[in-house]
A = this chain, B = another copy of it.
Amino acid sequence: MANSFFVNRRELEFLLFEHLKIQDLASTERYADFGREDYSMMADEAIRFCTEVVAPLNEDADRIGATFKDGEVISPPGFKAAYKATAENGWMAASQKPDHGGMGLPGVMGAFVQEMFLGACTAFQLNMGLTTGAGHLVESFGTDAQKALFVERMYSGKWAGTMVLTEPGAGSDLARIRTTATPTDTEGTYLIQGNKCFITAGDHDLAENIIHLVLAVMPDGRPGTRSLGLFIVPKVRVDADGTLGESNDIRCTGIEHKMGIHGSPTCSLSFGDQGACEGFLLGTEPFQGMRMMFQMMNEARIMTGMQGVALSSVAYENAKRYAVDRLQGTDISKTKTGGHEPAPIIRHADVRRMLLLQKSHVEGMRALAYNAAYVADQSDTATDADAKEVFEDRLALLTPIVKAFCTDQGFLMCSEAIQVFGGYGYCGEYPVEQSARDARIAPLYEGTNFIQAADLLGRKLPRNGGAGFQALMAEITQFVEANSEIEELKATAEMVGKARDAVLGAVGTLMQSTGAGDFEFPMSVATRFLHMLGELFCGWHLGEQARLAYDALKAGASGDDVVFYEGKIITARFFAMNVLPGVRMKSAIIRSQDTSAIDMPEAAF
């Protein structure tokens, strides 16, 4: 398989510098040293590295995968060298503060780097992505000694990191965790005992140590998740100066045989079989496990959404190239005039429909996900408490939507890319079937997409009196009003407006239900509601981009930019006319308050 990692450089630049305008961060103290050129250079460097070092791993990552032999996980060919190069080049901690060796880029550029790595080889990125997240947890909540010992070693890739939550009986429901942490005579040191499963990169041969962050039940806690502490549990014991000691009694008992991401070992881990697994309470307060883990989960959720963006983007770029090259059938618009030569399939209306469906979703979802990452930067750098709160509310609301919407649609768009290839799309000769398989995990892990929908409806929507939601609706209304008189944009603006009204209608129905104490009906439509918001936000962002394109054309854009901007206007209209009607449909379904799924007798399924 030839190189199949393709990036639309112009689109990324447009999003970062024309739409989000991340160069404006230069006005903050933290990012005062960075300008557009710096970001642009970084972006080029990330693309180059991913093209040359990461993308070539992708085929073997799938065909050979990570393997498990004699209790050891063996990474796919090339992973070790690429991991080393990735760490040395600092990509492991692109958006972490320089204090412990991070590159110090804003989070939105970190999201960009994630997208490139995920698009080049998802399985490889997963082996490194959680290391950063785990390191960041220690940086955020650890004692000074813990920070000094672990953070830089993790950001530099010397030691890897993981996130260890799930147990065979406790998937979505962490209140059922049974792994225990028993205090020893040394304060802060516990003995960990229990079985964990579905641990991404839970064991591998890429780093000299693996630092597990493990949720475990502490004694004398209140029932449920409030009994959980978060523990630093190294695979190999370490001295205070970082010297490696003996093994810490953690055993990898197997890896899963999966549909995709074969290069990323999904491990079952057994902690403390011999009663000799030491863990260190992160920080000093007991029972704070869930609170701390949520920080990492939120970062991981945005990253998971990015997986949907990255894979569907690469699949689209491949489908587009194939559609330009592949000759099949004749151009229907020319048969009238006698043209019967074979036409590239991009001339066929249905292929164009499939491609534009992909393109509009990819660009809408990318805008949505990068926006969320940028909101986190705006929140981090806000100097005013009120402004910070606005950004925090927004990020809280967007996080489950980015995770669930971008992963559900990311998978479907990969499947649509397969369809563009015809039978070839099903074959390993082309990369899109792997993209689809690799993308299918994302709606399942880091909290299933229903967990996201329940979080959105139960917590994020009503958070702070609905402030985050209302602020977004107000901005959308502004967009609609500002563009409804412009010929090229008014159809788009009108459909965004209708979708907004449909969302508000559904919210009304849902509030009525919950007000009456009925939580079951809202939960039965929560997934649908999340998708409504995802579609509305994508349609709105695409509309904003269309407006920027319109302004740029008016201002005399030239060269290749003309067709790029024209495409932006058409892409937004396509999404508005062909996808946003789905928001109204879903609203009508929710408002009809059908309870069939709840009424169905269990024996009748």
Contacts and interface: CB of A to CB of B under 8 A. Distances in A.
A444 B429 contact: no
Contacts of A169: 327
Nearest to A599: B570
Contacts of A605: 320, 323, 346, 352, 355-356, 359, 567
A44 interface: no
A602 B427 CA distance: 26
Interface string A579-605: 001101100110010101111111111
B259 A426 contact: yes
Interface stretch (A67-75, A146-154, A366-374, A448-456): A448-456
Number of copies of this chain that the complex holds: 2
Contact of A584 (B256, B415, B571, B585): B585
A21 interface: no
A26 interface: no
Given A258-B428, A422-B448, A423-B445, 19 more contacts: A172-B329, A173-B329, A256-B427, A259-B426, A324-B602, A346-B602, A349-B597, A350-B450, A353-B524, A419-B444, A422-B444, A423-B444, A426-B440, A563-B603, A567-B603, A567-B604, A574-B596, A577-B592, A578-B596
Interface string A331-345: 011001000001000
A69 to B, nearest CB: 17
Contacts of A600: 352, 356, 567, 570-571, 574
A135 interface: no
A570 B564 CA distance: 50
Contacts of A342: 173, 176
A525 B578 CA distance: 10
A329 B585 CA distance: 30
A88 interface: no
A527 interface: yes
A328 interface: yes
Contacts of A350: 450, 453-454, 523-524, 526-527
A93 interface: no
A351 B604 CA distance: 14
B440 A257 contact: no
A584 B171 CA distance: 38
Interface string A189-211: 00000000010000000000000
Give 4 closest A-B pairs by Cβ, nearest first. Answer: A567-B604, A349-B524, A257-B428, A574-B596
B171 A328 contact: yes
A108 interface: no
A227 to B, nearest CB: 15
Given A259-B433, A320-B605, A333 B520 contact: yes
Interface residues of A, number: 95
Nearest to A575: B596
A249 to B, nearest CB: 26
A171 B422 CA distance: 8
Contacts of A283: none
Contacts of A517: 336
A465 to B, nearest CB: 24
A158 interface: no
Given A585-B581, A589-B577, A423 B352 contact: no
A324 B603 CA distance: 10
Given A437-B259, A585-B585, A605-B346, A597 B426 contact: no
Of the candidates A259, A320, A437, the one having the most CB atoms from chain B within 10 angstroms of its own CB is A259
A166 interface: yes
A210 to B, nearest CB: 20
10 contacts: A169-B327, A259-B418, A332-B519, A332-B520, A346-B605, A352-B598, A359-B605, A419-B443, A419-B444, A567-B601
B426 A415 contact: no
A414 to B, nearest CB: 10
Of the candidates A443, A563, A604, the one having the most CB atoms from chain B within 10 angstroms of its own CB is A604
A566 interface: yes
A46 to B, nearest CB: 24
A521 interface: yes
A155 interface: no
A259 B440 CA distance: 13
A532 interface: no
A352 B604 CA distance: 11
Contacts of A585: 581-582, 584-585
